[in-house]
Amino acid sequence: MDALLSNLIKLQGMLDQVLSAGSGPNAKLTKSGKPRKVSDRKGKPSARNDFNAMICKEKATELEAFKATLDKKQGAQFTFIANYNKAHPEAFPAFEAKWQAEQQAKQPVEQPVEQPVEQQKAEQPVEQQPVASALLPSAAPKKKPVKTAKKAITTSVVAPIEIAVADELLPFTIGEKTFLRLGTRRENGNHLWSSGHLWMSKKGAKGGHYGELREDGTINMEAEEPNC
């Protein structure tokens, strides 16, 4: 019975906080029509709720007798607690001071984080060691700079000079017909041919495209004329 009353007190306290601090469509509004500010202690234990639960537990007999005098039993515990606070105004302040001290004692104590050994060594100041005077730059013997003459190395590079020879349309005879064909002229008449395409020769002038000479000696009459 005592545990049930205690749970009812806590549940009623949480319900009051939700109804008074909610921001939904059913939330209580201020006189200006704005939703009430949500309490930062919502869902957290409070001295008032624990005090009400203690009164209901310790005064369970008196509470039952008080309920017997009422026609409406619902919410009788809150009326009983209000009457108790009026009769004993010093009870809650004393309970609240003790309650806050207990809450602070329950809070975990933060332990200092130990740094790794490598980090501790890195943070320790490095002791300056005395530097031998023989190693100081000022103690080193001064030497006069020695001038050395460098001989320039020259190599003669002879690159072959290539002369670009442009192709031209040269006479090319097949049987009794003479065509024009792209190639490089040679004085001995053995010209270097660069293409197999043949053009008609009109007294040495370029005529229409005739075809392309294949490796087997035949002529492809359907070959497309190249741009040249």
Q: How do the domains of the chain map onto residue ranges?
A: 2-105, 168-220
**10 in Cβ contact with 49 (< 8 Å):** yes
Tally: H helices and E strands in the chain = 6, 6
Q: 98: which DSSP letter? A: H
- Grouping H, G, I as helix, E, B as strand and the rest as coil, residue 130 is coil
Q: What is the dihedral sign for C-alpha 22, 92, 98, 11?
A: negative
Which residues have a Cβ under 8 Å from the Cβ of 213 and sit 6 or more positions away?
181, 196, 197, 198, 219, 220
Banded model confidence at residue 214, pLDDT cuts 50, 70, 90: confident
Encode pLDDT of 66-116 as tens digits: 889 888 878 888 899 999 999 999 999 999 999 999 988 888 766 666 666
For the record, the structure tokens of 76 come out as 């009788």
- Sort 127 into a burial class: Cβ within 10 Å, 0-12 / 13-18 / 19+: exposed
Maximum alpha-carbon separation in the chain: 145
- Specify the pTM: 0.35
E-strand spans in the chain?
A: 168-174, 177-184, 192-193, 197-202, 205-213, 219-220
In the prediction, which pLDDT does 199 show? 87
Composition of the chain by helix, strand, coil, percent to 5: 35, 15, 50
Mean pLDDT rounded to a whole number for the chain = 75
> Quick one: which of 90, 70, 88 has its CA closest to 79?
70
Encode pLDDT of 125-155 as tens digits: 555 555 444 444 555 556 666 555 555 555 4
What is the C-alpha to C-alpha distance for residues 5 and 66, in angstroms, rounded to an integer? Answer: 14
Find the mean pLDDT for residues 31-54: 73
